[in-house]
Amino acid sequence: MQLGIGGDTWPAAELFCHLLLSPSWHSFFQKLFHQKTVIELGSGHGLAGILVDKVFNVQSVVITDLQNYVDLIEKNIQRNSCQHSRAEAMDWTVYNSATADFSQEEKFDIVLALECVYRRELFIPLIRTLEAKSHSDGHKNTVIILGITRDFANEQFFSLLVENGYKFRKVPQGAFHLTDTQRQRFDVSHIGILLVYKSDVF
């Protein structure tokens, strides 16, 4: 099977998983994910979504990527005995139309988008996918957890987020509590985990 870039674990996704397991952040994420519906975009083999399912008391996790990754995601869900997860195919480019109607789309409380910001031509489809999968009725707030590598996430993407009404907060570098070996692997000056939202939920 030729998996391409989705067959790798990208640095921001792996760093996010370290953060999930950090004792100093556990209570924050425990409250954030409690009985929430979660979707992971561009998951590749599904590491982050599977970890969220196994560690936190979620309502459901939908782990998505292009069709050729779905079998791999399903196998990993089964291997890890995930009780709340399912795999689905998702192609962001179907959300590329500015006039698309998102009212019938399934909405989620939390969207994981880790290392999804890597091609300029996908910036707008990604943001429209975030819009399609987020609550918009004012009664619920969707939190988007964005993992980025600075080399790819340029100012244009963040300008698009602001233009679409989003605010964001970056998890401080000191929050990761990395060992010396991990610091050699993860350059946190180039990798970031951001909490993205429209309403003030923090």
Candidate ranges 98-102, 107-111, 174-178; pick with highest mean pLDDT: 107-111
Residue 107 has pLDDT above 70, yes or no: yes
pLDDT (tens digit, 9 = 90+) per residue, 38-82? 999 999 999 999 999 999 999 999 999 999 999 999 999 999 999
Instruction: For the chain, give the percent of residues with pLDDT over 90.
Output: 53
* Residue 90 confidence (pLDDT): 94
Indicate the residue type of 198: K
Over residues 78-94, the pLDDT tens digits come to 999 999 999 999 998 88
Residue 2: what pLDDT?
47
DSSP string, 153-193: --HHHHHHHHHTT-EEEEPPGGGS---HHHHHH--TTTEEE
CA distance 105 to 108: 10
